[in-house]
Structure 1
Amino acid sequence: MPVFPRGSLDRRRFLAASAGAALATAALPGCASSVDTGSGAKGAKETLTIMDAAWLKADKQKAEQALGINLNVITYDVTKLNAMLAGGNPPDVVRGVGATDVPYFAARGLMADLDPYFAKSDVLKPSDLAAANDIWRYDSGAKKQGTGPRYGMAKDYSQDCMFWYRTDLFEAAKLDLPSDTEPLSCEEWLDLGKQLTKRRLGKVKVYGLSAGALNGPLTTFMWMTASAGGSLFAQDLATVDFSSPEALKALQWYLDYAKANIGPSVVNPNPDGWDGPTYQASRMAMANDGYWFGGVIGADAKLSGVSRLAPAPQLGSHRVSPCFGATGLWVPKGAKNKDTAWKFFEYYFGTLAEERATTGYGIPSLKSLVPKMPQDNAFHKQSYTVQQQELPYFSVLPVSPYAQADALNVVLTKVLPDAVNSGTSAGKIADTLNSRINEQLARGKELVG
């Protein structure tokens, strides 16, 4: 399930609560003894500092009892994280978005190599790791993600460009339902969004389509450019080119979407902060969220009765269905409690993962847990089948190690609104984006080498 810091505070609260539900279910008392800190104090407990979404107090206490340690949970903040890493006093465990965070932090030597821990673990065996976990691998020499040491692990994952839709809103608009097997073209998707949008007195009352990626617009452009047969980043990942025919096509699609005002965008963000509340309230017909979003929907029998999952739309003939999340945990190279951090890993990705697998909040990170994915009713059977059919098109698109994805999204969210409102052409916007983003990447490359 993709997560923070790309979403809103409301979204983070929701995700923290959902994580807390898993903790409350799986953290059983009395299943671990106290960890000896070596201080000589009998029964003294070690403190593990975790940078994560906020935890509920009761869930934190249950996890502490299960592990026999104290947890110091600090809310994730990328600025604070960078400062702690620079100051040589990092958290012991950090929550991260594998697809976009690993290249940046691993290239700078800030992540601990966890291969020795995986090799010895009876809980997290390399042979049981889903292929999506390769997102958490990075070869610093080749500057290539997907190979090399493992620096973390995904708690679960989704193909993030798939979308959910409400059959009741389609039927009310007298529109055919999307196929379970054949992806829509992005043009067809946009057209459906326009037809499904409802306005009153000039204001949007029902969004026809939410095409805003969870982790910011950068990933939308990466996905659509790849589908059109190109790559937003150059082969050496040191530059972007929004002016290429494929990237320009993706940029123009997004401009058309934003101008049509049929869904949340960088021009008009969703007042709810993210898709969940809007979709639940019948104010969004299509939500561009991966399989993990089914965990939100499945908790409501009425909502799940009118909801279905569809393949990722395609801008061109190259069918790709990427993962831009694979949210999980990593251990900083400078962390002082690596052994205890690994015990937390085994608890979090082992014990708690069994409960998470049954909720529909993403595809399990362990292959042995895939049979636990929910298939108990028509809603879960449909989404499970569509997700399994989508797996052959799974991909991880290359992200530059020379700048944090959040920083590049800041450029996009600054440039695009004024450009859309002023009617600036896609070509001129592309030139501006190339200049500003490539300047950032060049500075980063000087630091990394």
Structure 2
Amino acid sequence: MIKKLSVLVVLSLSTVLTLSACGSKAVDSKASETPASATAKAADPKASPASSGQVTVNFNMNDGEITKDQIKDFETANPNIKIQRVDTDSTKLAAQLATGEAPDIIRISGVNDIPSYVIRGVAMDLTPFIEKSTIIKKDDLVSTVDVFRFDGKTQGKGPIYGLPKDFSPDFSIWYNKKMFKAANIPFPSDTEPMTWSQMFEIAKKLTITKGDTISQYGLATLVKTEADMPSLMTYLLGKGVSLSSDNFNKIDFNKPEVKQSLEEWVNAVKGNYGPNQINQDKAGWGGEVFLAEKAAMFQAGYWFSGMLRGDEKAKTHLDDFAMIPAPIADGGKRVSPTGTATGAIINKASKHPNETWTVYEWFFGGKPAEERAKSGYGVPALKHLLPLLPQATAFDKQAFNVLQDELKYSDKFIEINPYLLNGNALLQKQLTPVYFGKAKIDDVLVSLTKDANKMIEEGKNAAGNK
């Protein structure tokens, strides 16, 4: 049981919807010691000779993220390697890691998962492979790739353990020009970000209610227009505030900046600025509400441009939509981080590291990467692919230009505490009574800190880091 629990520590939910934790700079409670897994000698591509005969590389990636046609093309060009796509299943993956049967390539969120996978010794150091690659070159990597680096203390430093298949500055805002015009609200600037407070104030003005009926929301987010860990941590990143201790042992939500951010979200819920648990809107996610033109703003990354282009209704009037920069914390610095950076690592236990790298290099730097860039559903990890992003229409150009500016502020990362699992669920559970007027934020912050520290202690014990 302990073995299985320790494996579960590495399995954060790899999506911005469920960013599992917040954290800081170090790993172990023993002063500044670095885990052996983070300092072990990197794999040498030459030290592992290619296998004789055909080998199978198990590739953990969702259906559609790698297509059958792409796999067929690769296998035709590389007859000695067969790709077996494996569906993403966190429970199954935990069991496979415990028994040594995990896929060769494992889909993860760079933001949420890298520290945990490195601590557990699951992630292979890809630096030696990248240094010898003619396809993926170190100086061609965008700065956001650094979220896949970890030196045992700080995310963003040290060896490269993975790459994003694509990413976005995830806290940018999309808005509907027609709704702004109808409310006599000037269009926001493409270059100067509004503050979080200004965003909420505009959302309030754009929310239209008649009695108990909400005919228009001012702001939609990915799931509900409620506080979540990604938004809170982005606000704190701009304020330069960390919640976790340097060794990840403790976390403290009792900080004025936390209260400032959460109060804005509580007001948004009580004011019905977007779908929430009080109004019980049945929409599956915020993008659905925005595409149905029932919300004036939608907080999402550049990737949403691809959805707008692909939506049967929206694509007929794309010029009615525009992307603007992520909001900045009041009195803080401009940041526009990625909230997920979905990509993959190579399993350190892979029996065929060289063949696995051949597949990895092709998927993250070859034709599939070019096709992803052209689709506009995310930002490529390689600089030379950035010009392939859609730029044919006025809509394309506007989003592309805003993205170029946002990328200048995407080199800072949301801090993650690898031992706080389900931190997002804990935050939302604690805030629910506040939304309904049954509790006060000050009391919630005390309770949240207490419960989060208990979860961290349990997580470290399960991982063997007492």
Q: Is the 8 A contact 2:164 2:381 kept in 1?
A: yes
Q: Structure 1 residue runs of 4+, over 6 Å off? A: 213-216
1:133 to partner: Cα distance: 0.8
Amino acid at match of 2:414: L
Residue 418 of structure 2 corresponds to which residue in structure 1?
A: 401
Residue 142 of structure 2 corresponds to which residue in structure 1?
A: 130
Q: Distance in 2 between matches of 1:266 and 1:227?
A: 28
Residue 60 of structure 1 corresponds to which residue in structure 2?
A: 68
* 1:220 lines up with 2:220 in the alignment: no
After superposing the two structures, state which structure 1 stretch, 129-138 or 111-120, moved more. 111-120
Match of 1:380 among 387, 393, 396: 396
Residue 262 of structure 1 corresponds to which residue in structure 2?
A: 273
Q: Distance in 2 between matches of 1:93 and 1:437?
A: 31
Match of 1:184 among 194, 207, 226: 194
1:6 to partner: Cα distance: 5.5
Change beyond 3 A, Cα 1:278–1:422: same
Q: Is the 8 A contact 1:160 1:290 kept in 2?
A: yes
Q: Is the 8 A contact 1:181 1:389 kept in 2?
A: yes
Q: Distance in 2 between matches of 1:56 and 1:401?
A: 26
Structure 2's unaligned 5+ residue stretches are 1-12, 19-49
Q: Distance in 2 between matches of 1:286 and 1:232?
A: 29
Number of aligned residue pairs: 410
* 1:282 lines up with 2:293 in the alignment: yes
Change beyond 3 A, Cα 1:51–1:216: farther
1:391 to partner: Cα distance: 2.6
With the length of structure 1 as denominator, give the TM-score of the two structures: 0.84
Residue 77 of structure 1 corresponds to which residue in structure 2?
A: 89
1:70 to partner: Cα distance: 3.7
Q: Distance in 2 between matches of 1:293 and 1:238?
A: 37
Match of 1:116 among 128, 134, 137: 128
* 1:49 lines up with 2:58 in the alignment: yes
Q: Distance in 2 between matches of 1:180 and 1:5?
A: 27
Q: Is the 8 A contact 1:297 1:303 kept in 2?
A: no
* 1:203 lines up with 2:217 in the alignment: no
SS at match of 1:157: coil
Match of 2:309 among 272, 288, 298: 298
Match of 1:246 among 248, 257, 282: 257
Q: Is the 8 A contact 1:266 1:416 kept in 2?
A: no
SS at match of 1:94: strand
Q: Distance in 2 between matches of 1:72 and 1:126?
A: 28
1:325 to partner: Cα distance: 1.6
SS at match of 1:346: helix
Amino acid at match of 1:135: V
Match of 2:360 among 333, 345, 365: 345
1:63 to partner: Cα distance: 1.2
SS at match of 2:156: strand
* 1:424 lines up with 2:439 in the alignment: yes
Residue 164 of structure 1 corresponds to which residue in structure 2?
A: 174
Q: Deviations over 1:313-351 (max 9, x none)?
A: 123222222122221111122233322221221221121
Q: Deviations over 1:85-127 (max 9, x none)?
A: 1222111111111111111211221111112211221111112
Q: Is the 8 A contact 1:182 1:311 kept in 2?
A: yes
Q: Deviations over 1:180-238 (max 9, x none)?
A: 12211212211211222234562334321024579981111111123344223334433
Cα-Cα RMSD:
2.6
Residue 32 of structure 2 corresponds to which residue in structure 1?
A: none
Match of 1:152 among 135, 158, 162: 162
Change beyond 3 A, Cα 1:308–1:336: same
Amino acid at match of 1:399: I
1:443 to partner: Cα distance: 2.4
Q: Is the 8 A contact 1:212 1:265 kept in 2?
A: no
Residue 21 of structure 1 corresponds to which residue in structure 2?
A: none
How do 1:13-32 and structure 2 match up within 5 A? none
Match of 2:114 among 92, 96, 102: 102
Change beyond 3 A, Cα 1:4–1:274: farther
Amino acid at match of 1:306: D
Amino acid at match of 1:397: I
SS at match of 2:436: helix
Q: Deviations over 1:1-50 (max 9, x none)?
A: xx955559xxxxxxxxxxxxxxxxxxxxxxxxxxx9646xxxxx433222
Q: Distance in 2 between matches of 1:180 and 1:302?
A: 22
Q: Is the 8 A contact 1:212 1:220 kept in 2?
A: no
Residue 35 of structure 2 corresponds to which residue in structure 1?
A: none
1:158 to partner: Cα distance: 1.5
Amino acid at match of 2:62: A
Q: Distance in 2 between matches of 1:270 and 1:70?
A: 46
Q: Is the 8 A contact 1:221 1:232 kept in 2?
A: no
1:75 to partner: Cα distance: 2.3
> Once the two structures are aligned, what percentage of the paired residues are identical?
32
Q: Is the 8 A contact 1:108 1:448 kept in 2?
A: no
Amino acid at match of 1:66: F
Residue 23 of structure 2 corresponds to which residue in structure 1?
A: none
1:414 to partner: Cα distance: 2.5
Q: Is the 8 A contact 1:210 1:264 kept in 2?
A: yes
Q: Distance in 2 between matches of 1:353 and 1:268?
A: 41
After superposing the two structures, state which structure 1 stretch, 360-369 or 260-269, moved more. 260-269
After superposing the two structures, state which structure 1 stretch, 410-419 or 276-285, moved more. 410-419
Q: Distance in 2 between matches of 1:70 and 1:278?
A: 42
Structure of greater relative contact order (alpha carbons < 8 Å, 6+ residues apart): 2
Q: Is the 8 A contact 1:152 1:330 kept in 2?
A: yes
Q: Distance in 1 between matches of 2:227 and 2:106?
A: 20
1:243 to partner: Cα distance: 1.3
